[in-house]
Amino acid sequence: MLPEPGIPFERAVPFLPADPIIIEAGASNGMDLARILAVWPSATIHAFEPELQAFQQLAERANGLPGVHAWNLALGAYDGATTLNVSHGAGYETTASSLLPRERY
């Protein structure tokens, strides 16, 4: 049997309290929110996604989930505005977008 894709959140249980504050940087469309809340139902989650289309889906998924806060922002090394390089075209998803210059990813 193949393992379920994604991050095995359960491995972090021994290291976190029952009500952790979780920062999800690059939350994409919020696809992991339900899995995180299944492991930590009392968590406070701050989900950050700078790409607008993915953020809109994230906000819909986060709507009504207690303790979940969706932010249409990127997290980076400095405070200010920058360019988000959004991947487009066949085979690319918004999950591949980056603050790095295109030649670096």
What's the pLDDT tens digit per position in 84-99? 888 765 554 555 677 7
Mean pLDDT over 100-105 rounds to: 65
Is residue 15 domain-resident? no
Mean pLDDT over 25-47 rounds to: 94
Is residue 38 domain-resident? yes
Is residue 76 domain-resident? yes
- The CATH number of whichever domain residue 75 belongs to comes to 3.40.50.150
Q: Which residues constitute the domain of residue 64?
A: 21-104
Q: Please give the helix or strand (H or E) that residue 68 lies within, else none.
A: strand 68-71
Is residue 5 domain-resident? no
Mean pLDDT over 54-72 rounds to: 96
Query: Cβ neighbours of residue 9 under 8 Å, at least 6 residues apart?
Result: 35, 36, 39, 40
Q: What is the pTM of this model?
A: 0.81
Is residue 78 domain-resident? yes
Is residue 41 domain-resident? yes
Is residue 75 domain-resident? yes
The structural domain count of the chain equals: 1
User: For residue 71, what is the DSSP state?
Assistant: E
Is residue 68 domain-resident? yes
pLDDT confidence band for 44 (50 / 70 / 90): very high
Beta bridge partners of 69: 46
